[in-house]
Structure 1
Amino acid sequence: MKQRYYFCIRYLPDHADCGLLTGRCISQMHKFMVNNQQAMNQIGVSFPNWGVDSIGDTIAFVSEDKELLIGLSFQPYFSVMKEEELFELSSVSEVREGAAEVRFVRNQTIGKSFIGSKKRRMKRSMARAELTGTESLPVANEEREIDHFHRVLISSGSSKQDFVLHIQKEHVGNRNITNFNSYGLATNQDKRGTVPDIHC
């Protein structure tokens, strides 16, 4: 497989809201991908300081295309945050051989476990039942066991609405092909790309 490259962004403020800053960094990458179609699904994110309590104060971007990463690292938001001494950006470097592989997964089923989502789905079910003349609603078995995850708040550029990414970390044995969603994450089904477990 091809050589991979990465760069890291570390949030410098002592009491930084890591989830918020991570969301802003991912939003910048998403915007970069949308405006550069050759980048679509080619950049993955890694969280070097992922822990039980926090997603960590660092985000890393990984790709087989060094030039793409250089372009991403020069996005105006990152430059401003670096100038203001709020971010520390590393240079684009080669991923060392033998790094452990991990997968950061956007798990959309987690959001369905929260009361707001359940209410919205119940409302839609009731509306469908009314339209079809069904008298009783089906009973859903909603009991789910959910492994550890972190929440990242994202602002949608198109809809101007905020939404939450629920992210889980999986340890995997082998490197998988570069294939990520437009937020640099794997999914439960079709996007199963892995990234190196980077330590910046």
Structure 2
Amino acid sequence: MEEETVEILSQAVIQSSSLETMILDNVKWGAALLLKALAGHDGNRSIEHLYLMNLDGLGDCLGELLTSNPSLKVVDLQSRMSPEEWHQLGEVVRDNAIATNLIVWFQFVSQRKYWESIEAFARVASSDVKDPTLELKLYPATDHDVMLSLNLLGRVLRGDIKSLKSFHLLEFRQPNSGSNQDRLEGSMEGPGLVLAREHKSNSLGFA
């Protein structure tokens, strides 16, 4: 899409008072549209829910969007970002009074190389002084992926990470090796759900 067309579309979005949801999936101009149409004091204020899938270049854009648009209630995020961009987004979530629920979807099959970035993002976003707004939904594809996910869950339950409002493991598969089972037991040590509730982690889901 040409820049002029993005400008026309963004103006149409700004002027609309009836839009409640915007879905952007695999479009190169997604970040530009978001900045033009939703960020800043003159952006659209009727949209409450964003679905952002398979987009590049969202690092700085998301930070500005979350801190300048008070109307957003939920942002569903399944996008490719560098470790630096995830780190910056974690700082925004931690350091600003953001009410927007940020739902991060992570599919190991296509995103496994970004796993350490997701872990770091959750740690950076962790705060002792504000209610969590981050929801993490993980799709493990192998037993190893399951163990990585459960190790992260263990840190949440022990209170090392306090940023998660909810934690979901989808398409869960039980590890079948003895060594993996030992690692599972180790990852779950500690006060567990009592500690998680004390640190405002409000829901835990498996499917």
The reply to whether TM is greater than 0.5 is no
**Structure with greater proportional strand content:** 1
Q: Given the two structures, how large is their TM-score scaled by the length of structure 2?
A: 0.21
Q: Specify which structure has the bigger relative contact order, considering alpha-carbon pairs within 8 angstroms and separated by 6 or more residues.
A: 1
